[in-house]
Amino acid sequence: MSILIIGATERERAAEMIANAKANPVPLSLIRQGTLDDIKLLRLKDRPPGLERPPSQHMMFPGGYRAAFSIEEQPAGMCSHLSISVEGRSRKGMMPSVEAVQAIAEVFGVPFPPNAGGWTEEFEPGEYAINLVSLYAPAQEGNA
């Protein structure tokens, strides 16, 4: 079992990551390269050949939890994408607890449960992360 520790340092780092992600959103063209419909579990073998994951920022929380965060341009608008995994686990494939996911989501200002979707993703053979995507700025409908 991993213990999640969230202090002032972690909150400051998360705020820096959010600001940087907002200033450098991942473009829709990159997101579309890896889009799979209605996934709940994304295994390495299910990824399109040659897919490179969109860039994100990473941080470690004391206690072994890792978070990756990005802002992405999605068809619905701008979305936050938070991925949470556990490092240094006592057994392969260990997943973060619901409570840890909820606490880390709160630090990043991400609704839990997510309002735009979530899934489990294999990021290394036999290792998984929880992904949360939430819409925070709907796409503007243009008028000509």
- The mean predicted confidence, pLDDT, of the chain is 83
Which range among 10-14, 24-28, 66-70, 110-114 shows the weakest confidence by mean pLDDT?
A: 24-28
How big is the CA angle at 139 (ends 129 and 43), to the nearest 5 degrees?
A: 20
Query: Residue 51 pLDDT > 80, yes or no?
Result: no
Measured distance CA(44)–CA(129) in Å, rounded: 12
Query: Residue 142 pLDDT > 80, yes or no?
Result: no
Query: Residue 122 pLDDT > 90, yes or no?
Result: no
131: part of which helix (H) or strand (E)?
strand 127-138
Measured distance CA(116)–CA(136) in Å, rounded: 10
Q: Which pLDDT score, from 0 to 100, does residue 127 have?
A: 86
Q: Which pLDDT score, from 0 to 100, does residue 83 have?
A: 94
pLDDT digits (tens, 9 = 90+) for 22-37: 999 988 877 666 555 5
pLDDT digits (tens, 9 = 90+) for 52-106: 656 689 999 998 899 999 999 888 899 999 999 998 666 777 889 999 999 999 9
